[in-house]
Every structure is written in C-alpha cells, then in structure tokens.
C-alpha cells in the first residue's frame, strides 16, 4: 500500500516531465523527422544556452529569490559580444576603425559587464533588503535601456567565422556533439561541484532552508547572496556570448523572456520556489524537457499564439506541483 | 475548567491588537484550505487546460479549426 502510494507520489511529482516526454514520443510517431540527427543537434544547441541561464537562476531560486533580469542581461551580453566580434571586412561595422580583438578578451569583457549587473542585483537585494522580484524587475528595465543606448536599437551582424563556429562546429565533426553541448556540460560539472562540494553551496542551501537560522549559525548571508547573484551574472555573460555566436547576430530583443524559460526549467527539474532544494541534474532534465516540448509543438504546427499559452500553463503547473510537494511534507 | 479570555479574538469583532476584521479572503481560505487534495484538483484542471490548448493550437495551426 505504502509502495503504491509512493509510486503515485513519484508519478505526480514528475507529472510534468512524464507528460512532456509522452507528448514528444507521440509527435515522434506522427512526424518521423522529429527523431532525426539534425533535430537532435538543434535540441542540444538550444538546451545548452538555456541550461547555462537556468543554472544561474537556480542559485537565486534556491535562496528564495529570483532573477527577472536574466533574459535582458543575456541580450546585453550578446549585443556586446556581437559588436566586438564583427568581421574586419564587414561594411556596416559598429566601430569601423576597430581591429579584430582576441575572442578571449571579448568574452572576459562581456563577463565583466554581466557580473557587474549581478553585483548590483546582489547589493540591492542583500544590503538594501529589497524583494528580489522588485529589484531584478527594475534591473531588467535598466539593462534593456542600457542595451538600447549601446546598440542604438540597430541589429548587429557580420560576425567573424571563428566566433560563429563556436555554435555551428561540433567535436570531431560528429553532428551529435556540438561545441555548445560541451560548454554546457563543462559548466554543469563545475556548478555541480560548487553546489555540492564547497562551503558556498552549503551556505546557499542553508539560506534557502531558513535564512534566520543560517545567519545565527554564523553564515555571512550578505556575502553569500552577493556571490550567488554575481555567479548568475557570470552565467548570463557566457550564455549571451554563446547566444550571439549561435544566432549569427544580435539585437536588443535577444534574450527576451528567457528568464521565465529558465525559471520554468528549474521548477520542472525540481528546484523549489520555496527555497533550499535543487540539483544541477534536475535543472538539466527540466530545461531539456521544456525545450523538447517547444520543438515538438513546432513539428506539430501548433499556432504560435497557442505555444505561448501552453508554455505559460506548463510554468504554472510546475510551480503548483512544487507547492503540492511542500504542502504534502507539512 | 478553562475560563474564556475576554480579550481573545473570536474572528467576528475587530481584532483588539490589529483592529482588523476577518475579510472574505480569510473566510475563503478557511473554506478551501490549501491541502494536497485541493491542489490535486487544481493541477488536474490545469492539465486539462494544457491538453485543450495543445489540441486547439494544433488544429488551428493546421487549418482544421
């Protein structure tokens, strides 16, 4: 009886994942090209960038916070990266007299800007005690404005080949192993180590579990939160840099709504919005499954407006299932 | 025998400490508590909405509806 109940709970707790995998299988049976190698590579490339963003957001969620500026920061990072990675012979260069800069230098510059955004978020949230929802919503608008000022609302194109190769290339020329997947894997492993094997990771879960207890136990909650939002910024910087390469250009609208996708991926993957719970492997599954659903909807020819409704309902169900877990534990 | 404290708030008259009266929201919460069962029903409804949106979207997208 107990086993039956726990199996039922397992099914309910993972209902979203089971539903989406089921939907993907149905689509695969109806449209055989869904399981093609090209589509698989597409799925990995799309998942890779979103996974990196979701890992950044997960730290905030684990400490009962959130980061609504994620998408816009990714967009700003992509615009900065694209601006400085334009080909020398491109006629409409943003800075015509600027020579070709080393890729690593541009990456570090992009990371610096996005970490700065994260630091500002962290300062406002940890020091001024502004609710994360409000603080990051404000930052979202600030970053969008900054991006408009920086780009002049003009799309940026003509990117260098070595830069775009970061996304189009694959390991040993095997289609199934794109570089983007490798980058996401490396980041996933590093962040797994940070979350599970370092004091910072332990502090993060402790703050999410009970912030007052964590503070009384001697944990520097302000410093830990600052680190979390700065790490999130670092993730957005890397994701933006890769997104620019993947898209072959950038514009101010890039990254719009990515924060919600990231939060959805996290919640589907078991990161609790009540704080204190979340695993890197879960986030990967959550993001992968969410992306699978989006591609499945494209294959089935679901009207675009309805895809937004579906994605919205998926996010609400994921959060409702999370609350259900919390209530069941009480 | 336990004596009733006169200052104890009964939920009807204004709370002596906060001077607030229980509103419709508190009454609704008391009637439909946040339990696993009520959440199961809400989640089931949401799943139905999800399937409906997927089906209608597919039919509309393929020009059937």
Residue B45 lies in a domain: yes
- B2 falls within a domain: no
pLDDT for res B6: 62
Q: Return the domain boundaries, chain A.
A: 2-329
* DSSP state, residue A32: G
- Residues of B engaging A, defined by a Cβ cutoff of 8 Å: 34-36, 39-40, 42-43, 46-47, 49-50, 53-54, 56-58, 60-62
The residues, any chain, with a CB within 8 Å of residue B57's CB and separated by 6 or more, are A297, A302, A303, A305, A306, A307, A309, A310
Q: For all residues of chain A together, what is the average pLDDT? A: 91
How much is the average pLDDT of A287-315? 91
A320 → closest Cβ in B46, B57, B62: B46
A36 CA to chain B: closest CA distance, Å?
21
Contact list in B for residue A12 (CB cut-off 8 A) is: 40, 43
* Interface predicted TM-score (ipTM) of this complex, two decimals: 0.79
Cβ–Cβ gap A303/B39 under 8 Å: no
Residues of B in contact with A274 (CB under 8 A): none
pLDDT in tens, A76-97: 999 999 999 999 888 888 888 8
Interface residue A177 vs chain B (CB under 8 A) = no
Contacts of A50 (CB under 8 A, 6+ apart): A239, A258, A261, A262, A265, A287, A290, A291
* Contact (CB<8Å) A324/B40: yes
Inter-chain touch B49–A313, beta carbons under 8 Å:
yes
- Provide the domain count of chain B: 1
Query: What residue numbers bound the domain in which B52 lies?
Result: 34-65
Q: Is the pTM of this model over 0.95?
A: no
Nearest CA to CA, how far is B1 from chain A (Å)?
33
In chain A, what residues touch B32 (CB-CB under 8 Å)?
A: none
Query: Does B43 contact A23 at a Cβ distance shorter than 8 Å?
Result: no
* DSSP-based three-state secondary structure for A233: helix
Inside any domain, residue B44: yes
The answer to whether A179 touches A48, Cβ cutoff 8 Å, is no
Listed in sequence order, the residues at least 6 apart from A136 whose beta carbon sits closer than 8 Å to its beta carbon are A60, A66, A67, A68, A69, A70, A121, A125
Please report residues of B whose CB lies closer than 8 A to that of A300: 58, 61
Task: Assess if residue B26 is contained within a domain.
Answer: no
pLDDT confidence of residue A4: 62
Contact residues on chain B for A22, CB-CB shorter than 8 A: none
A37 at B interface, C-beta within 8 A: no
Pick the CATH number of A2-329 from 1.10.1760, 1.10.287, 3.90.700, 1.10.3470: 1.10.3470
Within the 182-211 window of chain A, which residues sit less than 8 Å (CB to CB) from chain B? none
Higher-pLDDT residue of A73 and B7 is A73
Low-confidence ranges of chain B (pLDDT < 70): 1-23, 25-26, 28-29, 32
In a domain, B23, yes or no: no
A128 alpha-carbon distance from chain centroid: 26
Q: Provide the pLDDT confidence category of residue A308 given band limits of 50, 70 and 90.
A: very high
Q: In this model, does residue A227 exceed pLDDT 80?
A: yes
Q: Considering only A53-57, A135-139, A140-144, A264-268, which range has the smallest mean pLDDT?
A: A264-268
């Amino acid at each position: 009886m107990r086993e039956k109940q726990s199996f039922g709970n397992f099914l309910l707790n993972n209902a979203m994942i089971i539903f989406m995998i089921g939907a993907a299988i149905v689509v695969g049976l109806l449209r055989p090209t869904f399981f093609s190698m090209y589509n698989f590579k597409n799925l990995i490339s799309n998942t890779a960038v979103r996974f990196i963003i979701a890992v950044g957001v997960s730290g905030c969620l684990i400490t009962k916070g959130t980061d609504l500026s994620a998408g816009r920061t990714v967009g700003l990072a992509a615009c900065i990266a694209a601006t400085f990675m334009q080909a020398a012979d491109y006629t409409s260069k943003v800075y015509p007299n600027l020579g070709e800069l080393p890729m690593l230098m541009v990456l570090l510059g992009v990371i610096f800007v996005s970490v700065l955004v994260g630091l500002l978020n962290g300062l406002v949230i940890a020091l001024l005690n502004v609710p994360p929802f409000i603080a990051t919503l404000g930052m979202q608008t600030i970053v969008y404005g900054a991006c408009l000022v920086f780009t002049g609302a003009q799309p940026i194109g003509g990117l260098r080949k070595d830069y775009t190769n970061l996304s189009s290339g694959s390991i040993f020329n095997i289609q199934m192993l794109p570089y983007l997947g490798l980058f996401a894997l490396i980041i996933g492993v590093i962040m797994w180590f940070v979350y599970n094997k370092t004091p910072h990771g332990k502090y993060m879960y402790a703050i999410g579990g009970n912030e007052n207890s964590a503070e009384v136990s001697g944990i520097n909650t302000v410093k830990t939160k600052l680190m979390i939002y700065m790490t999130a910024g670092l993730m957005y910087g890397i994701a933006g840099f890769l997104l620019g390469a993947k898209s072959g250009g950038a514009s101010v609208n890039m990254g719009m709504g990515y924060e919600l996708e990231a939060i959805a991926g996290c919640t589907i993957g078991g990161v609790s919005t009540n704080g204190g719970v979340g695993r890197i492997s879960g986030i990967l599954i959550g993001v992968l499954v969410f992306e699978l659903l989006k591609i499945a909807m494209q294959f089935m020819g679901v009207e675009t407006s309805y895809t937004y409704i579906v994605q919205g309902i998926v996010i609400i169900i994921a959060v409702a299932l999370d609350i259900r877990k919390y209530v069941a534990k009480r | 025998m336990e004596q009733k404290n006169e200052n104890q708030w009964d939920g009807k008259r204004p709370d002596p400490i906060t001077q607030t009266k229980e509103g419709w929201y508190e009454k609704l919460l008391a009637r439909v508590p946040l339990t696993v069962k009520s959440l199961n029903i809400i989640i089931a409804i949401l799943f139905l909405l999800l399937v409906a949106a997927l089906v209608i979207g597919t039919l509309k997208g393929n020009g059937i509806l």
